[in-house]
Chain A
Amino acid sequence: MESFRNPIILGFIAAYMLLTILVGIWALRKTKSTQDFFMAGKDLGIIVTGFAVFSSLLSGFGFVGGPALVYKMGMSSVWMFVCVIMGFNLSFFLLAKRLRLFAEIGNPISLPDIVRLRYDNAFTQGLMALAIILGVLGYLATQILAMSIVLQEILNASSLIESISIGYCMFISCSILVFYSITGGIVASVYTDLVQGAIMIFGALLIFFSVINLFEGGFQEISQIIAQDDAGAIGPWGTLGAFGALSWLFIFMMGGAGQPHVITKMMMYKNISDAKYILPTSIVGYFFSALLWLSIGLAMRALVINGMHPELSNADMAASVYLQYYTNPILAGLVFAGLFAAIMSTADGFLNIGTAAIMHDIPDALGVKIKNDLFWARLVTLILTVISALFARYSGDLVAILGAFGWGTFAAAIVPVVVIGFNWKRATPMAANVCIISSLSINFSVKILNIKVPYAIDIGAISLIISMLLFISISILSKKPVINKNVEAAMDL
């Protein structure tokens, strides 16, 4: 079977691509209106929503970037997923019901729509749309870069092509992604999430056991190899140290509730009581899939330190190298296919909210009406993909670092305005506007000016703290706002 490794892997990926096209075509038929394209008709079931929530969180960020960070820094990045149940709890306690209730008022199709409904302010809607577009660029770049790295590794290892550059791989990845997103909208995304989620749970479990069997002593031997080289790397803070790890804990446990591609799914389920089953479904799915993040990263670090595998030229290759050289070809093919599915569905989700922000929210905030919006939505999808691909190509960051930037941008802008503001009547539009502007200014100026923060504290965490402080203090100091009657009723329920 080993001699057919590459054909098997390529076969699985080809089969998956075919499945993607079929899902896209099926979703195209199911998508009859803008509401369907952006909100899946508010008709999703428990399993579909639960899987869509956890799969959107993991994606290329978790499956390519996660193992890369564990390989590079040891246990530091594990804090990003160790706190995920905290994040889910915050999202469900504060938002699942509230967003579903708001979705009943005025048929909103995006998060900025609901923000406008809550604050009754067009400028706030426009700013929220801008924050989403900027966050989407960072996050979408993560997905495109992850997909290109995996594709390059597979194609370079096969006998079909001698050597392919990352640029060509990006072109191929973007072409598939654009086709998929343009045809299916959010319907394609959530149903691919379902397939992908199932594949990833199954694949991650098998990978976990393959890592245990790779070393005679299982994880204990891996831990010992890493500890002999650098005890801090296998300690709870990893190489980054306590502050860096704790700032990740903060930004990921609070910021989980501020990820628009995740929380918009909370407007799409059918019955409100489904939320109580969606939470455990998402947690269980996330837990099993995250095993891949931890096990591959540690295994690759131990293999390199022990001299069993040559050093990786790029940490982002950790997952694809492990799958290529240390797993059964069928399992590798299955996980590679699942990985592509993860990246595609999440990227589709991002394109969806980014397109809604450009096509619907900003014109709405400016009072402009766009005709033939479905056509324009598809064109904007193409443009967003190209800009993100350029960002990914020229930023020079690791997949997970780009992902953490996108996460931090969303968290700082959305957590105060949405998570707090949707549950606190005292919140004012002015506070929301200042909060969004400050969060974007801090995140982007630190990124553009390449400022190093002491103690390796994540800038997203600092930005979130400042935007929360501004939001609450300005709200308390301003005049009590007048809230729409229906919105008030939804907030009282």
Chain B
Amino acid sequence: MYVLSTLVNQKLNLLKLKVDRFLFIGVLFLSLIVLSLLMVSPEASYYQTTHLQFNSLMTSGETSDQHSLYSFIFCFGMVWVYLGSLLLSTRHLTKNKRKKIQTLMVSFCLGYLCLLSLLIFSNIISDSYFYLGFPRNTAIMLYLIGFSPLFLSFVYVRYFDILIITEASFKNFQKQIKSQNK
């Protein structure tokens, strides 16, 4: 039993990725995706075209729904890089606090990726269903994708003293700098 738990712990330690490495792999992944996109399908370059009747307007092209999988992979990389950057802000915290805030950040980013996937994989632009003035997918983009990050803002405001800094430690820091300057 002891050997088993030691093995599991060792495995888990191996899986524990440092935040900077996590970010690095995310950026590398996103770079490879963009590179492959640029090299694979250049025929999709000219997506939008000028409106037949009005020169100042653009209309969507014929290739609109052909790249859902690529779009998802691109989003995945994008959210990964965002999460990696966000996690850098937790490095100074104690283990327990760090674990809690990192769990919240990871959960939020997964939720955000799900919302983006919902848009990517559902290509119906229906005239018949409108939510607060917009077709369903557009409403998801405006209301859900637009406002879901308020969750993280709430965390920032609510747990500022615990996760970010207290006024007392800032004053101490100011004092320390002032005393050095004297």
Contact = CB atoms under 8 A, between A and B. Distances in A.
Interface of A: 71-75, 78-79, 82-83, 85-86, 88-90, 92-94, 96-97, 100-101, 104-105, 218-220, 222-224, 227-244, 246, 249-250, 253-254, 271-273, 275-277, 279-280, 283, 301, 304-305, 311-315, 419-420, 423-424, 426, 452-457, 461-462, 465-466, 468-469, 472-473, 476, 486, 489-493
Interface residues of B, number: 79
A461 B88 CA distance: 21
Contact of A222 (B68, B133, B174): B133
A489 B119 CA distance: 44
Contacts of A493: 92, 165, 169, 173
A24 B141 CA distance: 41
Given A236-B141, A280-B157, A472-B20, 19 more contacts: A71-B56, A75-B138, A82-B145, A235-B137, A241-B48, A242-B68, A242-B120, A243-B70, A243-B74, A273-B161, A311-B56, A312-B56, A424-B88, A454-B38, A455-B67, A465-B34, A472-B27, A473-B24, A486-B177
Contacts of A472: 20, 23-24, 27
Contacts of B130: 220, 223
Contacts of B55: 311
Interface in B108-158: 112, 119-120, 125, 127, 130, 132-135, 137-138, 140-142, 145-147, 149-150, 152-153, 156-157
B7 interface: no
Contacts of B23: 420, 472
Contacts of B161: 273
Nearest to B55: A311
A28 B116 CA distance: 49
Nearest to B91: A423
A413 B171 CA distance: 32
Contact of A220 (B24, B133, B145): B133
Contacts of B174: 104
Contacts of A275: 160, 164
Given A276-B157, A424-B88, A472-B23, A239 B58 contact: yes
A454 B42 contact: yes
Contacts of B106: none
A238 B60 contact: yes
Given A218-B133, A223-B135, A246-B71, A241 B54 contact: no
Nearest to B174: A104
B60 A452 contact: no
Nearest to B75: A246
B2 to A, nearest CB: 36
Nearest to A425: B91
Contacts of A78: 141-142
A102 B46 CA distance: 46
22 contacts: A74-B60, A90-B85, A94-B86, A220-B134, A222-B133, A233-B58, A234-B138, A235-B137, A236-B119, A240-B47, A240-B48, A243-B71, A254-B85, A271-B170, A273-B170, A314-B56, A423-B91, A454-B41, A461-B34, A466-B31, A469-B27, A489-B176
A279 B156 contact: yes
Contact of A244 (B47, B75, B137, B170): B47
B10 interface: no
A48 B4 CA distance: 59
Nearest to A231: B125
Contacts of B34: 457, 461-462, 465
Given A231-B125, A246-B71, A457 B60 contact: no
